[in-house]
A and B are shown apart, each in its own frame.
Chain A
Amino acid sequence: MSALTTTSATGPAGLAAASAGLAGPAVSTTGLTKRFGHQTAVDHIDLAVPRGGVYGFLGPNGSGKTTTIRMLLGLIGPTAGQHTLLGRPMPGGAGTVLPRVGALIEGPAFHPYLSGRANLRRLDAADRWADPATAGVRVDAALDRVGLLAAAKKRYRAYSLGMRQRLALAATLLVPRELLILDEPTNGLDPQGTREVRTLIAALAADGTTVLLSSHLLSEVEQICTHAGVMHQGRLVAQGPLADLRPAGHRISASTPEPEAAVRILGELGVTDLARDGDEVTGDLGDTPPEKAVAALVHGGVPVRGFTTVRPSLEDLFVSLTGEGFDVSG
């Protein structure tokens, strides 16, 4: 335990203390814009990722998520606007900020004829901040963390997509990071792997690491994110704490042999968007408590066989904002 306190100065906490702007957002952009020729890929977005948060970055394919992530990391230059990472203006601060940022950008990419371990050794060798004396231990710890230690000696070309994705995650864990920018981290993983990555991200976030996560899996974002932002056609159409973003109120579904009566009674109660499908009646309850709806139905003499309430999901929000299914290109 004493080792922990003495060396924590070089851990994330120590690095955080050493950096300026500790209180500010981990990622902040103002009017960030990227045009490729006539096409505007990213259009004046003001992203704000709070420190310590897990930020879900959502949007259909082609909505500008990856372009934004590339701009955040300094891989491509913005046409207009500024941004800061961990309080430092980019791209000027790249040399001091990026060592504290782990990134997975548009899928894994490694040298195919090197082993997983050799690939990580190479990335570590390129990092001037990483301590060479501990490279071997750290590489193996990172491989172990993503469950790849057994396949460490295998050539990357022999890895499955899920293993490749895990290796890319391991690369972000070579040194302690304050911010992780993960572009589709569960892409290609099996359900077990997806669950493991979710656990891993939760564990990292619990340790104080800020995570910016772009994902296709809305349910997953709902499970692990504290904040979310939704991109649509290059613009950030919604952003905020997850609880604020979700549409309020419940949606109910009642099963009854007398649906007409149920529709009438629920309508009198103020339930909107009522729909009837056989014995099933659905509607938006608004602010009315669900128990009141049940009582009204029973008092009105409607036999109720089943009654369920559904909280609106992020997907509902997403569809309402982007007006399209999730995998449709924008």
Chain B
Amino acid sequence: MSVAEAVTPAAVASEVRAVLPRPRMFSPRFLLSELMLIFGRRRNWAGLAVLAAIPVIIAVAVKFDPPSGGGGGPDFFAGITENGLFVALAALTVELPLFLPLAVAAISGDAIAGEANTGTLRYLLTTPVHRTRLLAVKYAAACIFAFASTLLVAGVGVLMGLILFGGGDMTLLSGRQIGFGEGVLRVLGVCAYLGICLCSMAAVGLFASSLTEQPIGAMIGTMIFTVASFILDNIPQIDWLHPYLLTHSWMNFGDLLRDPVNFTGLREGLLRAAAYAVVFATAAWARFGGKDVTS
């Protein structure tokens, strides 16, 4: 302060324009800051490293010990030796029930509860950041992370697959052969579909995050909700419940690997994801909009 005692606010204001005549209506600045927080955090780096390690492990394991036909593993493992793209698909299939949801739960559960826990929430709100805007930015950042995680797994999978097994034509689940370019496009389509599914889950996490000041609690709650959804979906006796489950159509991404593509299941999955996103984002907004912030 000794240096700055001569600097009055008027002097600072005279040197630089501090305040805009009007607030910026749309600005990527806060979202970018949010993304820098997420992707700059060591904990998240570790999480992403684990996600990326799975396709590497799969590719190396299959290289050393190729699966014999008729094994009990996921469908895509058998195709790996024939086309490297299958490493990406196998990795996505393996990570979908736990690792990918875990990553998304960690980010979305942290959204509001994390800021409340460090106390930064009160400073963001008095900056001011409108509560709806805060939720929108937090949700957008979680969705970007969901897509980034999916693309990371697929990207590392494709890379490892191409290095160890090469590319070339790809045999679809329905038996037809497609060219390598179309194969890459289909893998990208799978990523987009799974990304959207994970975004619907991020809405659940956002809602959980608005309920508590403990980010770990919100993450665990979101994971319980997701894993329970997987478990219930596997109990045929309660099939009346299945259409309402978050994860019911996640595995429908296989439909993108048939010829012709079966859009019925995919459309249903996208609608279910949209419904979950709308319901839980609205619930988060209703909960957080008028909540007393005492953290």
User: Is B32 among interface residues, defined by CB-CB distance under 8 A?
Assistant: yes
User: Is A95 among interface residues, defined by CB-CB distance under 8 A?
Assistant: yes
**Which of A47-55, A170-178, A244-252 is found at the contact surface with chain B?**
A170-178
Q: Are B7 and A8 in contact (CB under 8 A)?
A: no
**Which of A109-117, A220-228, A295-303 is found at the contact surface with chain B?**
A109-117
- Known A109-B119, A130-B18, A138-B12: A101·B126 in contact at CB below 8 Å: yes
Give, as a whole number of angstroms, the nearest-CB distance from B184 to chain A: 36
Query: How many angstroms from the CA of A132 to the CA of B119 in the assembled complex?
Result: 25
Q: Are A125 and B29 in contact (CB under 8 A)?
A: yes
Complex interface bits, B45-87 against A, C-beta within 8 A gives 1, otherwise 0:
0000000000000000000000000000000000000000000
Give, as a whole number of angstroms, the nearest-CB distance from A122 to chain B: 5
Complex interface bits, A200-215 against B, C-beta within 8 A gives 1, otherwise 0:
1001100101000000
Q: Are A127 and B10 in contact (CB under 8 A)?
A: no
**Which of B148-156, B227-235, B286-294 is found at the contact surface with chain A?**
B286-294
Q: Are B4 and A147 in contact (CB under 8 A)?
A: yes
Q: Are A138 and B122 in contact (CB under 8 A)?
A: no
Q: Are B16 and A138 in contact (CB under 8 A)?
A: yes
**Which of B127-135, B175-183, B248-256 is found at the contact surface with chain A?**
B127-135
Q: Are A10 and B18 in contact (CB under 8 A)?
A: yes
Query: How many angstroms from the CA of A282 to the CA of B294 in the assembled complex?
Result: 47
User: Which of the listed residues A7, A99, A122, A196 has the most CB atoms from chain B within 10 Å of its own CB?
Assistant: A122
- Known A75-B126, A173-B9: A145·B18 in contact at CB below 8 Å: no
User: Is B39 among interface residues, defined by CB-CB distance under 8 A?
Assistant: no
Which residues of A pack against B, CB within 8 Å?
3-4, 7-8, 10-12, 15, 70, 73-77, 94-95, 98-99, 101, 103, 105-114, 121-123, 125-134, 137-138, 141, 144-147, 149, 171, 173-177, 196-197, 199-200, 203-204, 207, 209
Given A95-B128, A112-B118, output 11 extra A-B contacts at Cβ < 8 Å: A4-B11, A10-B18, A10-B21, A74-B128, A75-B122, A76-B292, A98-B126, A129-B19, A131-B19, A141-B7, A176-B9
